[in-house]
Amino acid sequence: MDNLLTAAYSPERFRQQAHTLVDLLADQLNQDERSNEPVLPYAEPDELLAYWQADFQKPIDGDPLPVLTDIVKRSIHLHNPRYMGHQVAPPLPLAALTGVLTGLLNNGMAVYEMGMTANALERIVTQWMAEKMQLGPQAGGLLTSGGTLANLTALLTARAVAVSNNVWEEGYAERSRLAIMVSEEAHYCVDRAARIMGLGSDGIIKIPTNERFQLRTDLLETYLEQARANGLTVFAVVGCACSTSTGSYDDLMAIADFCEKHTLWFHADGAHGGAAVMSETYRPLIRGIERADSVVVDFHKMMMIPALVTAVLYRRELDSYRTFQQKAQYLWSDATAKDWFNSGKRVFECTKLMMSAKVYTVLRTYGEAIFTANVETLYRLASRFADQVRSRPEFELAVEPESNIVCFRYVGNGHTADQLDTLNTQIRAKLLKEGRFYIVQTTLRGRVYLRVSLMNPLTTDTHLEELLDVISQQHYHYAE
């Protein structure tokens, strides 16, 4: 057993395995860019589980290459320019390599001495992002594992700041009924966060959207009055920047005005579209975000960092210390001290990964320009794709895209609305199983639409024209 451990920790064995793995991944990147393989080798769930169960029973031979090769072969290839599915970035190779480094170092971040460099880098990255958002001189924030945790963290802070009774220590008062207001098009994680906080269905007040799927700010006053009449205490309003289904940006300035008037916490969910801050061309889409009390931005969406890395930013950084105030003597001696370098005080995670290193390394190597280029490339590509859809009578555009998300559907001729829903569902299923393209679908106003998230900057107009050709030329028909 000692010999096994010694060999497993061998620097020379690591060197050999690392070179082999990098060669494997580099070859895959090359194939992806040339689009020589399908985006995904689709298999039914039970079929794929059976394959890996059989693999698990094979004898151990000490060589990881066959397993690693098989994992790559049977996974979705986000670096293929025909990947247009969910909002996950094809990560920069440098950021992925940094992930190997942080994985081997494995420094936690709850307390300073365990994550000295990681805490310092996180401080720099979050301050930089807060400055880009123009949140002001008192701003700051933290990094956490994904938009779901980030939105929950921000709303917990909102509750801690805005609610008079100390919910963290005392629980909810018997008759305390709290609520948030949010667009009906908001990401489901906001709804989930509210339920985790104990707000229940009544505490999630969903505001209708306009024809562009943006929150109707003209209804905020009415819905607030109704909530108060129903005995609810609204403490926060969530603005989408942008929405998940259509990529539409809410009017953040109008929401900020409303929150300021009624002394409500303004939270901006910029998990996907907050990266527009990197572009002078698209920054007007998030006008008003600088007035938000809290902002969420995913680096693993529009900023090409491997998942999961999300910033939770506050206009008043001191607010972030009120979220999780509790004693942990073995970690820190003073639970109330506002020390940025003990990150465990402000996030869910204790043994948090060194996620800041990935962002920092990219910034120090390429500068902000690489983030700007990615946002502008993908947003412009989406606009041109919308033009392609409009130019073909057999297709229908759901709404003019504001970001890199485009919703459209095949309409053909002579189909009823219900038939079109079935038809487009069939189209998506066939594309998925063929594997040449990976797109998703969504439901808008009760109708099924195809949806692309253009996440790969190597995707071209030609790839998108080919997608429309494939859908049209396959002669899809409604199945009676």
Q: What does the alpha-carbon distance between residue 186 and residue 250 come to, in Å, rounded to a whole number?
A: 10
Nearest to 318 by CA among 301, 293, 298: 293
Burial (0-12, 13-18, 19+ Cβ within 10 Å), 36: exposed
Ordered per-residue pLDDT tens for the chain, 480 residues: 678 999 999 999 999 999 999 999 999 999 998 877 899 999 999 999 999 999 999 999 889 999 999 999 999 999 999 999 999 999 999 999 999 999 999 998 877 878 899 999 999 999 999 999 999 999 999 999 999 999 999 999 999 898 865 666 666 665 568 999 999 998 888 888 889 998 999 999 999 999 999 999 999 999 999 999 999 999 999 999 999 999 999 999 999 999 999 999 999 999 999 999 999 999 999 999 999 999 999 999 999 999 999 999 999 999 998 887 644 444 445 556 677 776 767 777 878 889 999 999 999 999 999 999 999 999 999 999 999 999 999 999 999 999 999 999 999 887 898 999 999 999 999 999 999 999 999 999 999 999 999 999 999 999 999 999 999 987 665 554
H or E stretch at 180: strand 178-183
| Residue intervals in the chain for CATH 3.90.1150.170 | 12-40+76-91+371-480
At position 365, the amino acid (one-letter code) is T
Strand partners, 141: 313
The domain 12-40+76-91+371-480 is placed in CATH, from the list 3.40.630.30, 3.10.20.30, 3.30.365.10, 3.90.1150.170, at: 3.90.1150.170
Distance from first CA to last CA of the chain, Å, rounded?
64
Q: How far is CA 275 from CA 14, 157, 183, 368, 397, in A?
A: 37, 23, 20, 11, 24
What residue spans of 74-219 are helical by DSSP H? 93-105, 116-132, 147-162, 167-170, 188-196
Query: DSSP letters along 65-107, please?
Result: HHHHHHHHHTS--TTSTTB--SS-----HHHHHHHHHHHHH--
Nearest to 318 by CA among 352, 344, 294, 285: 294
Q: Phi, psi at residue 412, to the nearest 5°?
A: 55, -140
- Residue 349's pLDDT is what? 83
- Residue 326's pLDDT is what? 44
Nearest to 308 by CA among 105, 476, 151, 467: 151
Q: What does the alpha-carbon distance between residue 456 and residue 453 come to, in Å, rounded to a whole number?
A: 9
Strands of 447-453's sheet in order across: 395-397, 405-410, 447-453, 440-444
- Residue 235's pLDDT is what? 96
| Residue intervals in the chain for CATH 3.40.640.10 | 108-366
- Residue 343's SS3 state is helix
Q: Under a CB-based contact definition with an 8 Å cutoff, are residues 156 and 347 in contact?
A: no
Q: What does the alpha-carbon distance between residue 237 and residue 249 come to, in Å, rounded to a whole number?
A: 15
Burial (0-12, 13-18, 19+ Cβ within 10 Å), 54: exposed
CATH 3.40.640.10 fits 108-366, yes or no: yes
